Amino acid sequence: MNSQITQLASKYLLPVLIVISVIVFFRGHHHPGGGFIAALIAATAIIFNAMVTETGSVYKRLFSHPVRLVAAGMSFCFLAAFAGLLESRPLFYGYWTEIKLPLVNKISLGTPLLFDAGVFLVVTGSLLTVFLLILEEIEWK
């Protein structure tokens, strides 16, 4: 896609959308939002970027191949599910702690959040895998 406008837009939209995705991710437990929606926003940003540049540079800038993101996400989900079993509690039992941070008062951290992070990585990774493959196959004009 060679349009100057979209190229410029994607350049500035990418960081903005990533920040929005992080915000949406963290407000997910008590408000609308959460891992799935955050992952859709993040994946949209990256795929939009891949459409205007080329897929090779996107692969380079990601930390690893998207399939590994899926695997990392699956292992987060596994840990969150398994945490309860160690103390012979049921599957997916939620443990919570609260951390005080200077800027944002306090954050609650717990296994449900870990599960959500897993969902985030799985959804981002699988969407990126699919779309980057399709973008490579079809010549985008």
Partner 1 sequence: MTGLPILIPFLAMIFLAVSGTRIILQKIIAVATSLVLLVVAVFILIRVDQEGIMVMYAGGWKAPIGISLVIDSFSALLLVATAIVGFCMSIYAVKGLDEKRHQTKYYLFFFGMIMGINGAFITGDIFNMYVWFEVMLMASFILMVLGNEREQLEGGLKYMTISLLGSLLFLAGIGILYGHAGTLNLAHLSMKFREIDLPPAMNIALALLMTAFAIKSAAFPFFFWLPSSYHTPPPAVSALFAGLLTKVGIYAMVRIVTLFFDAYDQFWHGLLLVISGFTMVVGAVAAFSQTDIRRVLSFSIISQMGYLIMGLGFFTPLGIAAAIYFMLHNILVKTNLFLVAGIVGRTEGSYNLGAMGGWYQKFPGITLLYFLSAMALAGFPPLSGFFGKFLLAKAGLESQHELITGISIFTALITVAYMFKIWNGVFWKQTQDIKWEGRERPEFSMVFPSTFLTVLILYLGLGAGPVFDILQKTAGQLLDPSGYIGSVLEYENTL
Partner 2 sequence: MEIILAITIGMLYSAGIYLLLRRSVTKLILGIILLSNATNLLVFISGGLTTGNPPFIPVNEELPPSGIADPLPQALVLTALVIGLGIIAYTMVLKYKYHDETGNEDFDNAKETDR
Residues that bind partner 1 (CB under 8 A): 67-68, 70-71, 74-75, 77-78, 81-82, 84-85, 89-94
Answer for which of 11, 27, 130, 140 binds partner 2 (CB under 8 A) is: 130
DSSP state of 63: S
Residue 89 contact, options partner 2, partner 1, none, Cβ 5-8 Å cut-off depending on partner type: partner 1
Element (H, E) at 23: helix 4-26
Residue 82 contact, options partner 2, partner 1, none, Cβ 5-8 Å cut-off depending on partner type: partner 1
Answer for which of 36, 82, 92, 93 binds partner 2 (CB under 8 A) is: 36
Of the pair 6, 81, the CB lying nearest partner 2 is at 81
84-101: buried (b, 16+ CB within 10 Å) or exposed (e) per residue?
beeeeeeeebeeeeeeee
Percent helix, strand, coil in the chain, to 5, is 70, 5, 25
Binding-site size for partner 2 (CB under 8 A) equals: 4
Q: Could you say whether residue 26 binds partner 2 (CB under 8 A)?
A: no
Asked whether 64 and 102 are in contact (CB, 8 A), the reply is: no
Say how many CA atoms lie within 13 Å of 67 toward its Cβ.
1
The least distance separating partner 1 from the CB of residue 108, rounded to whole angstroms, comes to 16
The least distance separating partner 2 from the CB of residue 15, rounded to whole angstroms, comes to 26
